[in-house]
Each structure stands twice: as C-alpha cells, then as structure tokens.
Chains A and B, each alone.
Chain A
Amino acid sequence: MPPPLPLPIQLAWLIPIYGFSGMVLSLPWATGWIKRNGPRPAAYLNLLVTLLAVLHGSWVIREVIQIGPQHLDWNWFSAADLNLRIGFDLSLTNLAVLEFVTFMSLLGQVFALGYLDKDWSLARFYALVGFFEGAMAGVVLSSNLFVSYFLLEMLTLSTYLLVGFWYAQPLVVTAARDAFLTKRVGDVLLLMGMVALSAWAGSLEFTDLYAWVGNSQLPPLAGTLLGLGLIAGPMGKCAQFPMHLWLDEAMEGPNPASILRNSVVVTCGALVLLRLMPLLTISPLAVRVLLAVGTISALGGALVAIAQVDLKRAFSYSTSSYLGLVFIAIALQQPAIALLLLFAHGLAKALLFMSVGSVIATTNCQDLTELGGLGTRMPATTMAYLVAGAGLIGVAPLGCFWCFGLMVESLWAQHPLFAAVVLLTNGLTAFNLIRVYRQVFLDTRHPKTKRAPEVNWLMALPMVSLTVLVALMPWVMARIDTVPGIATFGPTTAIAVVGSGMAGLLAGALVRLDKFWSRSVIKPLRMVQDLLAFDFYTDRIYRATIVAFVAGLARFTNGFDQVVVNGLVNRIGRFSLASAEGLKLGVSGQMQTYVLTTLVAIVLLLTSLSWFHG
C-alpha cells in the first residue's frame, strides 16, 4: 500500500470550494438579511477565503515539487455503462495556472473594494466573484471533460450575472443577455461533443480520451463534427470570431469583473482547448477552422480595437486578438508557447484593466475623446499603463516579447504566414496602445480630467504590486520551466519582433489624433473607420440572420399552433356542438330505428373484434 498523500494534497479539492464558500458566506449581506454595518464583511470574508485558496495552492505546489504530480478522483455518479467522476490533476502546470487564477482573483477583489466602494450591492458582487473564482479554480485543476464542462457552464452563468450586475441599465440588460446566449451556443455545441465522446469513448478522463483517439474507428464525418463541437465551447469562452460580440458588450459590467474576464476567464477557456488539443487529430477540418478563427480574431480584433472610442472596449477587442494568437499556437500543436502567452497576456492585460479602471473611477468617464492629460496627475496609474503596455507587445524585453519571439521562431520555417500574423498583431496592438496613451495620459486636460487625484490605496496597492510583477515577468517565466527555455530564438527573430512593435509604436505616435474630428472627414477613410468601430457590423449581421431566423421560426410555430392546431381543435368542438343541435331536431321517435341502429352497431363491433382475434 502506498504511503498516504500529504494532507494539503488530499485536501486539494477544497481549493475550488473556497471560492464557492465565499459565495455562500456573502449571502446574508447580499440578500440584505444583515443590514447593520454595511456590506463590507462579505468582502472581507471573500478576501479571506481567496487568500486561503492562494496559500493552500502554494502549499500543494511545494508538496508536488517534492513528490511529483498527483491525481485525485472521486466517483460522482455512475449508472450502467456511464461513470462520471470528479477528477483533479495536480500537475505543476495546472497548479501554476491555479495560483495565477486565485492570485489574480485576490488582487481583483482588493481592487474591487476600492472601485465599488460606494456601490450598494457590494456583497452581491463578492458573492458572484466567489462563485466565479471557485468555478475557475475547478476548471484549471479538472482532469476530465465532464468536470471541465460542468464548471465552464457555471462560468457562463456567473459571467451573465456579473455582466448584469447593474441590471437596471438598458445596455446592461442586452449585454448580459448576449453574453449568456453567445456562450450558451458554444456550450451546447460542446455538450454535443461531450455527449458523443461519452457515448463513443466510454470515459471522459482526458488521458483515456487521448488513448481512445489514437485507435478510434470513427467515420470521418462524425470525427469532423465532433472536432467542431469540441472547439465551439472554448471559442465562445475566449471571445473568438464569430462569437466575440459578448466581450465587447460585457464591458458594461463593473470593471473589477472585467479585469478577471479579460485575463483569467479567457485563460480558462483556452486551457480547456489546450486539453482538447490531442483530440483534434481526429478532425483536420477543426484544426483548419481553429487556424482561420485565430487569424481572423487576431487581426480583426487588433484592427477593431484601434477604432474604438471607449476606453474599456479598446482593450477588450485586444483580448480577443491575443486569444486568437493562442488559438493559432494550439492549432499548430505548440502547447508550451500557448501557455506562456496566456500567462504573459493574462498578467499584463489584468494590469492594463486595473489602470483603465483607475482612470474610470477617478474621472467617471470612459470616453477617449473626453479624457486627456492624466499622465502627470496619476503617476501610479500611468506607470501601470506603461508597464502593462510594454508587457503586452514585443518591444521591451518583458513577457510577450519572449512569447512572440518563441512563436515566430517556431512557426517561421513551416508556417511563415502565421508568423506574419503574430508580427502584424504585435504592431497593431502597439499602435493601439500608444494611441490610447496619447489620448488619455498626454494631450491637454479636459473638463473631466481637471481634478484627477491618484486612486485610493485599495486600488493602488494591487495595481502597483501587479506592476512590479509584470516588470519581473521574464524572470518568472524563466523559473516556470518551459522545454526550450524562453530565450531560444535568434537575433533575426528578435529584430523582427522588436521591429514590428516599433513600427506600430512609431505609427501610433505620429498619427494625427483629433478629438473633435475623431470620425474622419475623408469619406473612404470614414467608411473603413465605421466598419471597424462597429466591429464589422457583426451585431447587425446577427440580427438580420440568426436572430431573425429564430424569431421568425418561433412566430411561425406560434401562429401554426394558434391557427392550425388549436383552430382545428376548436372547430371540431364547434362542429360537434352544431351537429348535436342539428341531430336534436332529427330524432324521429320511432322505436324500430333505434333497435336497428343498436343491432348494426353490435354486429360491427363483434366483426371487428373477431378480425383482431384472428
């Protein structure tokens, strides 16, 4: 009998529970049962359990380093040939991502304490974030598709509720609806894939699935459909084209949730795709779709981001764009690079959103055309923005520079096209970052930015800590063992990456930015600008196609139901009433007729019975 596992590992299942318990603990304040002393205790309790999750996670990491990766699982439900298990894989990669998720959640929650200081439903926010965090921690650790799906759907639900946090606002209402429905489409497709896998492969453990896919005899069509179903879920979660619309609208929600959504939630989605990656060998079409989707999202997202005038939206599209790069890396079977990019992007993007959140909290404004001159007023925020920007693009030797270098190096030989996509995205993102920087932090002061003090310590503390962390990224990345090491690319690649970034920076620094004429006066240019600003009119295309189709079908069904089905029923009813009225007059009163009718009926009945009998 093997020696029992150390206690922290045995109790690793508690890590997702911490988040969920935070939700339960917040309920008395969220529902208003406890009204004394305001909602703050709920926030403190959530911070406490999140801290516990972080500490427990790091303890588990220490143990795992000593005794190697572990696997925990419990039977959840079994019937006949179906066996659903709850499984957690405690590998170093998973635990590193777990620490990333819980730590970001902790920082985000501290930030939220400052950002939502005056919100009456602070406790509800913390309850939702606790739910969110628990689901994410579970997704990250899960070792089978069933648990991943289970928790991904919970993420969908909590995203819906977090986006709909300020549910009285009209834009929030549509945003929450779209976020839920878009993700739900992806989830239902993933569910189809999962049910099919469960029926065909028997087990949903990823390791069993990998073994199954090696010698499965699926017909090509089934394999293709399966592959498409499996990638649809992560596509929705990661806001990839054509399911990217929700992330833009989700920016109507409170900013602390946006921090998490743009960094760790998308990471969770991509992580599930990463786990599904070996299964995609079954479907070459799915891989091609992934590449196409990644490319369109990377370039399209970067372009659309440039045309936005809303501070948060300018960067939410950039999230779609970076996740597009991750999709390309996954499709080309580069899991290590995908993970590194997720990590580097997640940290830097979270910092960027903290900085943006500080600006919004101070100025109560997120319209780029009304901001300006904050650079000297808010030094910590400006610093955070600059470091985050540097971390996102390949110019300074921070996080994404090394990722882009590795990616370009590994793709250049066989897939030069996708290497070019990486470089182009890099340049476009640099352009967008410097454009926003000029509009928000440089430029002259505007009425809304005249009195702009630095944010309070609750927001500044996580922001500054994260600034330091992002600045130290290369060191952290070198510590996380990646197989080739992070600096294994040649000077040519480095020059290409820096060059593309610099080109973007230069162009962004030199382009004419006019706040008054933010919409160009030159017609062709204006049309392009509108096309991008309205996200290629995706929402209108949806409304004219899918939404119109479903609505039309629903109206048709209802009309059919009312007129044909129900109408027929009512007509039969009326007919029988009318015929009864008619028959009433046709009664003759003759005894012989009655007897004859009865006899004929009996004979008919008996004949039909004997026919059955025979």
Chain B
Amino acid sequence: MLTALLLIPFLGALALVIWPGQPAPETIRRGAILVLGLQLLWSLRVLIGFDPGDGEMQMQESISWVQSLGLEYRLGVDGLSMPLLLVNAGLSLVSAFASIGISQKPKLYFAMLLVISGAVNGAFLANNLLLFFLFYELELIPLWLLIAVWGGKNRAYAATKFLIFTAVSGVLILGAFLGLALVKGQVDFSLTPVMSGQLSMGAQLVLMGALLIGFGIKVPLVPFHTWLPEAHTEASTPVSVLLAGVLLKLGTYGLLRFCLGLFPEAWARVAPWLALWAAFSVLYGSLAAIVQRDMKRMVAYSSVGHMGYVLLAAAAATPVALLGAVFQMVSHGLISALLFLLVGVVYRKTGTRDLEVLRGLLNPERGLPLTGSLMIVGVMASAGLPGMAGFISEFLVFRGSLAAYPLATLLCMVGSGLTAVYFLLLVNRAFFGRLAVTPATEPIADARLDIQLPAVNLRDQVPAMVLTSLVVALGLVPAGLGRLSESATTAMSQLPALVAAIASAGVG
C-alpha cells in the first residue's frame, strides 16, 4: 500500500520523460496534475486505513535489499509521518497547479517535480536509516535543477549554495548513520533507540551532534540558514512552495525521528542548550525579516523563525510540545506555501516584490483585491492569530515547553510578537495606501492614476483559496490532526523517560 506512494510519482516522472514527441507545456502540466492528484487520493486512502490509536509504525512493508550493507527496503507510517505525507501530497499538487507558463523544457521540469514529491514520500516513509538517506539525497538534485534552470537572475549562485549546504548536510547525516553502525559493531539500520549500555555518552553526543547539524542545515537553524533566503529569492513560485512547505519539514522530521528518536539520552543531555538555540533562531529570523525589502526574502526569514519553534518543542519533548511540533510543521507548511503563492501572484502581475515600491495593491478595481485579502489572512495566520492554524500550533508548543524552559519559551513568544511586526509592515506597505508599482521619484508628475494591473484569473487563485480554507479549518477544528498524531508523539515523548528507566534498572 505504501509502496504505491513511491510508484505513482516515480512512474509518473518516468512516463513524462519517455513520452514520445513534444506535447504542449499545458498538456504536460495537466498530466503532472493528474499524477499528483492520484498521489493525493492514495495518501487519503492510506489515511483511511491508518489507525490513530496506535503509536507504532503501521502498514509496514519490507523487502530485504542489500543485506550485507544493512540496507533494507522497509516502509511504515506513524502519527508523525502521516500528516507530513498529506502535506506533501497536497502541496506538490498545489505546486504543479501553480507552474503556469513553463515554456523551457517542460517535460524535465514536471518530471523533476514528481521525483521530488516521490522522494519526500520515501523519506517520510523510510524505516531504515540508509533508505531514508537515499531518499533524502534523491530529492536534492532535482531541486537543484529546478532552481538552477528555472530560477531568477542570480540562480547559479543560489543553486550552488543550496547544493553545497545540503550536500554537507547529507554527508553529516550519512557519516552519523555509518558511524552508528560501526561503533555498534553491527549493520543494523533500523529505528531502534540507542541505549547507554550500548554506547558511551561521548560517542552518542558526537553522532547526535553530526545529525543535529546535518538536519539543522536543512531546517534551517541559524547560523546554517544563509542558503534559504537566496534559494527562495531565486526559485520560481512553485519551487518556493515546495521548498518551504515540504522540504524544510525533512529537517524537522529528521530532528524528531533521528536525533530525538535514536539518541534520547544524548538529546535529553543537550536539550536545555537546544531550547536556547531555538529561541535564538526564532528571534534572529524574526528580527532579520523586519528589515527585508524583498517580500520573498521576508517570508523566507519568517520560515527561519518559525521552524525554530519546532526545535523548542523537540527540546522540551513533552507530549503536548511534540504534538505542537507536528502541528507547527503542518501549519507552517500550509501557511508558508500560501504566502509564497500570493507573493508569486504579486510578482507575476507587477513585476516586482520590492516593498519600497509596491503600494495599495488592495485597490478594488485596478489592483489585486482577492490576493490582498488572502494575504491578510495568511499573515495573520502566520502571526498566530486564533481561529487559524498558526495559533493552536504555537499554543501547543509554548504550553508544552514553558514548564521545562521558561526563558526560551518566553523569548520565542516575543518572536511570535515580532512576526506580527514584519508581516504587518508587509501588508501595510504593499497592500494599503494608494496604488503604485513603480518607484515614486516625483510624486506629482508620477501620480500614476492610470495603473491597471492585469486581472488574476480566478482559477489560478483556487490553490490559494483552498490553502486558506485549510488554514482556517485547522485553526477552528484542530482535534482531527491532534487525534491523528497524539499517540505517536506521546510514545516518542516517553523515549527519554523509558531509556532513563531502563538505565537505572540496569544499574540497580
């Protein structure tokens, strides 16, 4: 059943590439949408078969592959990966939908999109460390291509930077996985937590440190974040949607699944420092976002800030906090995808994303009123206003972490307040006021009253509207997602305690 989630996108990509002749880009896009729609339907089918009461891996499938290497094809899904699978399926579809006007090598473009989607599915489903790593790396090259070929002006620099950072991340992760096998002395790449009996604390800390930095690059956590704003500014809108909505989640998923999941003891040892690191990352991202002029850079820095909450929650590792981490991953996926889509519309219609230039886009007849209204909802959701997905996520994270790390949690809440500052600046500058899309040099001579932005096709706004509805729905009725993930996150929060109990029993 889970294998189909890999087969659909990979076979789809293969079919696209070997399809004879040169169909029109629009036809290819439809084909990709069809494949991704199928993938979404199949993900929903997996959801139906999923038992939320069970905190363990479900629907496991395994084929032994390269036994001597410990590489085993083993898939499984639990309450942590299930929501992320759905987010991936949904946002891949949104991304294909938003890929309008790809005239350059459309076949390759959509095939790459499908490969990314499949690889991300694989990474979320993999129950074997090496298999995870394979998928983790597999997603890298297509994304690099998407930025390097279909990107903006400065795309070569951004794509190379992205490639180097993420390759380093991959090397660290692989190194940690191999190191684990070496020091354990057995080629076992399953997801069983490492106990202190097996491994000294020093070795655990070194291995987990490598993983932490590896995933920290992907998340990204300050100071490993500099690739993200560049990649976002140069990537096209659909790629940004995927990057922010799905690929960053690989990093936080890795933190939860492999750092916390494999090394609960070492994690508990460094957790207080991680909480402070999270607070630093949140404040740093939020403050840097305030002064950005480029809307996309601003949203990118906001991602840096908001992913910090996940680290805070993971550091606290209480059941509520971990559930909050899942919520935050899902809601950040939806909200940042929404924001990037809307910024993309603005960019396509006005030709600029500069906040010093754009004014009054809410103008009802000549501006982008619907885009503006959705943008207001999106930024409010991101700022954590109740009734939308951001609030319940942040509330759970803060509520779960406050008792353990009061200072770091309070600092993160300040970061949440700063989110309101920069996003309000964005809305106020670009959407309020009198309509203008070019720099005002001579206010009277350039009283450009005749600006008429091309109307946005209502059909193109459908993904943004669907995302907005999802954000609101998740904010009003969060119980469903809570039920889906609770048993898994609760089981995970028990890990450190469990290990401690076993260790003390062993000593006694």
Contacts and interface: CB of A to CB of B under 8 A. Distances in A.
Given A157-B380, A561-B226, A612-B206, A167 B399 contact: no
A613 B431 contact: no
A149 B386 CA distance: 8
B410 interface: yes
B303 to A, nearest CB: 14
A81 interface: yes
A136 interface: no
A184 B320 contact: no
A371 to B, nearest CB: 29
Interface stretch (B14-22, B186-194, B284-292): B284-292
Interface stretch (B51-59, B89-97, B108-116, B362-370): B362-370
Interface residues on A, range: 35 or more
Contacts of A573: 161, 164
Given A188-B416, A199-B399, A550-B421, A177 B318 contact: no
B170 interface: no
A303 B481 CA distance: 53
A195 B486 contact: no
Interface stretch (A168-176, A210-218, A307-315, A426-434): A168-176
Given A177-B424, A565-B226, A613-B183, A79 B434 contact: no
Interface string B390-422: 011001101110110000011001101110110
Say what secondary structure dominates the interface of chain B.
Answer: helix
A168 B370 contact: no
A331 to B, nearest CB: 25
B428 interface: yes
A184 B363 contact: no
B360 A168 contact: yes
Given A120-B364, A199-B402, A558-B288, A79 B432 contact: no
A537 interface: no
Q: Which of B319, B362, B417, B478 has the most CB of A within 10 A?
A: B417
B385 A170 contact: no
Interface in A581-614: 609, 612-613
Interface residues of B, number: 65
Q: Which of B287, B320, B403 has the most CB of A within 10 A?
A: B287
Contacts of B161: 569, 573
B153 to A, nearest CB: 18
B428 A80 contact: no
Contacts of B376: 161
Contacts of A151: 386
A437 interface: no
B223 interface: yes
Contacts of A561: 226, 284, 288
Contacts of A168: 360, 363, 432-434
A188 B434 CA distance: 31
Contacts of B203: 612
Contact of A172 (B226, B287, B432): B432
A181 interface: yes
A569 B402 contact: no
Nearest to A147: B386
Interface in B271-295: 284, 287-288, 290-292
Given A121-B364, A181-B421, A554-B291, A195 B398 contact: yes
Contacts of B182: 609, 612-613
Given A121-B364, A173-B432, A188-B414, A553 B287 contact: yes
Contact of A82 (B364, B396, B431): B396
Interface in A214-264: none
B7 to A, nearest CB: 35
Q: Which of A76, A82, A120, A565 has the most CB of B within 10 A?
A: A82
Nearest to B373: A31
A181 B318 CA distance: 32
A185 interface: yes
B385 A566 contact: no
A101 to B, nearest CB: 19
A318 to B, nearest CB: 28
B152 interface: no
A196 B402 contact: yes
Q: Which of B284, B288, B386, B425 has the most CB of A within 10 A?
A: B386
Contacts of A195: 395, 398-399, 402, 409, 413
Interface string A521-543: 00000000000000000000000
Contacts of A76: 479
A196 B410 CA distance: 10
Contacts of A161: 376
B312 to A, nearest CB: 13
A77 interface: yes
B321 to A, nearest CB: 9
A168 to B, nearest CB: 5
A573 B225 CA distance: 15
Interface string B469-495: 000000000110010001000100000
Nearest to B425: A177
Contacts of B185: 613
Interface in B422-456: 424-425, 428, 431-434
Nearest to A188: B417
A31 B478 CA distance: 28
B351 interface: no
Interface in A168-207: 168, 170, 172-174, 176-177, 180-181, 184-185, 188, 191-192, 195-196, 198-200
A154 B385 contact: yes
B226 A566 contact: yes
Nearest to B318: A80
B174 interface: no
Contacts of B434: 168
Contact of B319 (A79, A180, A609): A79
30 contacts: A31-B370, A77-B392, A77-B482, A80-B320, A80-B490, A81-B319, A81-B320, A82-B400, A153-B385, A153-B387, A154-B387, A168-B434, A173-B428, A181-B420, A181-B421, A184-B420, A188-B413, A191-B395, A195-B402, A195-B413, A199-B399, A550-B287, A557-B284, A558-B288, A561-B226, A565-B226, A566-B226, A569-B226, A573-B164, A613-B183
Given A82-B400, A173-B433, A550-B418, 7 more contacts: A79-B482, A80-B319, A161-B376, A192-B413, A550-B421, A551-B290, A558-B290
Pairs A-B, 7 closest by C-beta atoms: A80-B319, A554-B290, A557-B287, A188-B417, A150-B386, A167-B432, A173-B432
